[in-house]
Structure 1
Amino acid sequence: MNAQHTTKDTSETVTAPTLPADDRWGDGYDWMGTLQGTEWSEMGAWGTDGWDAGSWPYIIFAVATHEDETGPLYGYGTYIEGDTFTRWYRSQDAYNKAVTTDVFWYWKMGQSDGPKDLPETAAELSAEYTTPF
């Protein structure tokens, strides 16, 4: 379902797909099934070596791209123990930075299997940890 969203990087109002809501009847694996037939797909890994993004079935990242009259939009959303959040970006670079920041937090907190040599902040990560797998 498309809805109006405000992009996080440019603050423009766009119409883009909303991440499917949790139906509260199953777990995260069941929720991933709701992505089928939509522009969304689950993202299991991040960084050039494919470190875990999230911790299935409790923390799941989903990604989408969408084209509007102005150009491409890059979306990511999260499913966190049943709660879903949708975010859209006009710039792929801003999108990558936002996903990196969230994935880093789960790595740093030990909730996702991430690199062992993490710096103190996501901004200090080397390039190999800041791009899609």
Structure 2
Amino acid sequence: MSTPTMTRTVTGDTAEPVTAPVLPADNRAGDGYDWMDTLAGTPWSVLPNWGSEGWDAGSWPYIILAVARTRDKDGELFGYGTYVEGDTATYWFRTQAASFEAITAEVFFHWASGQSDGPDNLPDTAAGLPPEDRKPYPGWTD
């Protein structure tokens, strides 16, 4: 049995059907660190930090975010995926800005719930974060 490398999905910002790289599923044989190893050789890479100060984008090994960037016949696609205690989910966007907004909402949820370390004095919503905390940590190069 072969594992698929591409999947049909719909973008979160333009609602268009696209074919994009599959986020590897958890095989339940290990923990989140083992799952991160399954990303090797795929378009996906782990996203460890977010925002101006490089706050935690998850809480390893329980909550892990991954990102991918690809291109189809209509242009670039920006994806992010989550691993939360073995469950995975994938989201694709046509624009990088829409992807950043979705990632910001995801990390904000984990910061606000105390599941990962984020900025002090969080606003009530992710939309209230300053612009510099709504994008990748400047030290991140993917």
Normalising to structure 2: TM-score of the pair? 0.92
User: Could you tell me how far 1:128 is from its partner in structure 2?
Assistant: 1.6
The answer to whether the 8 A contact 1:49-1:128 is kept is no
Counterpart in 2 of 1:95?
A: 99
Task: State percent identity of aligned pairs.
Answer: 59
User: Could you tell me how far 1:45 is from its partner in structure 2?
Assistant: 0.3
Q: Which structure 1 residue ranges, 4+ long, deviate > 2 Å from structure 2? A: none
Work out whether 1:127 is the aligned partner of 2:131. Answer: yes
> How many angstroms apart in 2 are the aligned matches of 1:32 and 1:92?
23
- 1:21-75, Cα deviation, whole Å (9 max, x unpaired): 0000000000000000000000000012101001000000000000001110000
Q: Secondary structure at the match of 2:68?
A: strand
Q: Secondary structure at the match of 2:124?
A: coil
Query: Where does the alignment leave 5 or more consecutive residues of structure 2 unmatched?
Result: 138-142
> How many angstroms apart in 2 are the aligned matches of 1:129 and 1:118?
11
> How many angstroms apart in 2 are the aligned matches of 1:71 and 1:54?
29
User: Number of paired residues?
Assistant: 133
- 1:69-104, Cα deviation, whole Å (9 max, x unpaired): 111000000000000001000011111000000100
**Amino acid corresponding to residue 112 of structure 1 in structure 2:** S
**Amino acid corresponding to residue 96 of structure 2 in structure 1:** Q
Q: Secondary structure at the match of 1:60?
A: strand
